[in-house]
């Protein structure tokens, strides 16, 4: 799991919230597949609405312009972001995201390697509504400030607990990575983040940084699947 700080500014969050308040919402179960539909109880902004599409494209552009997301996911394809809303007593029980998704309005499909939730409500606006991700180290509970996002493997069992007060609004999307192997992708992310830290510290010789960059990009060339 990787937390992305401020993928959306406060101004962007305010804009998203204002515009989402005036768009049509549908029963979230209409967009769930298989077993997930039986445990999904929320609402989803109508993806066919022009304003919703504009917001999705705005967030999509921001995702592509966020270096930490690119480093962590190495995205090849990104599903258009969907906006969901949980009111009091609504929740989404444990489920696994579909392995293959058809991209709307196209014949293209996407293998879901990474999922990303972008929070649009502040934590004190609602009670409950935590994103729970089951990992080998136990359940990880996530509730981030508005504008923050979390990346996690789509293969993980996860849920959103029942909201007991207020309203939780968020966006979710899925990514197909250029590097399918999870452990290799994690190692590449760690290598890239180390290189970025060394650059910021400013006390590593350029020759050594070039050698590290060479290794990093050659590994991506070796394992990229397009």
Residues tagged in the binding site annotation for 2-oxoglutarate? 168
Q: How would you classify the pairing of strands 158-160 and 100-102? A: unpaired
* Binding-site residue set for Fe cation: 95, 97, 158
Give the number of other Cβ atoms within 10 Å of residue 109's Cβ: 11
Residues annotated in the binding site, as ranges? 95, 97, 158, 168
Give pairs for 60-64: CB < 8 Å, separation 24+: 60/173, 62/7, 62/8, 62/12, 63/7, 63/116, 63/173
Residues 200, 195: Cα–Cα separation, whole Å: 9
Residues 17-26: contacts with CB within 8 Å, 24+ apart?
A: 17/120, 17/121, 17/169, 19/51, 19/55, 20/45, 20/52, 20/55, 20/83, 20/85, 20/120, 20/169, 22/51, 23/49, 23/51, 23/52, 24/49, 25/85
């Amino acid at each position: 799991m990787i937390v992305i700080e401020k993928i959306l500014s406060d101004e962007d969050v305010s804009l998203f919230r204002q515009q989402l308040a005036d768009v049509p919402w549908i029963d979230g179960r209409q967009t769930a597949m298989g077993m997930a539909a039986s445990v999904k109880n929320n609402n989803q902004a109508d993806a066919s609405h022009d304003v919703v599409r504009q917001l999705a494209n705005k967030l999509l552009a921001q995702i592509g312009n966020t270096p930490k997301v690119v480093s962590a996911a190495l995205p090849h394809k990104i599903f258009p972001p969907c906006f969901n809303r949980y009111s009091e007593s609504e929740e989404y029980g444990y489920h696994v995201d579909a392995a293959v998704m058809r991209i709307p309005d196209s014949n293209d499909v996407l293998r879901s390697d990474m999922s990303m939730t972008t929070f649009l409500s502040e934590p004190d606006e609602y009670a409950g509504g935590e994103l729970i991700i089951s990992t080998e180290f136990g359940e990880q509970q996530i509730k981030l400030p508005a504008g923050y996002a979390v990346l996690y493997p789509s293969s993980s069992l996860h849920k959103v607990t029942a909201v007991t007060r207020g309203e939780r609004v968020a966006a979710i999307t899925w990514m197909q990575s250029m590097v399918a192997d999870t452990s290799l992708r994690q190692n590449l992310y760690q290598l890239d983040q180390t290189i970025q830290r060394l650059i910021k510290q400013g006390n590593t010789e350029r020759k050594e940084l070039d050698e590290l960059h060479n290794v990093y990009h050659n590994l991506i060339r070796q394992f990229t699947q397009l």
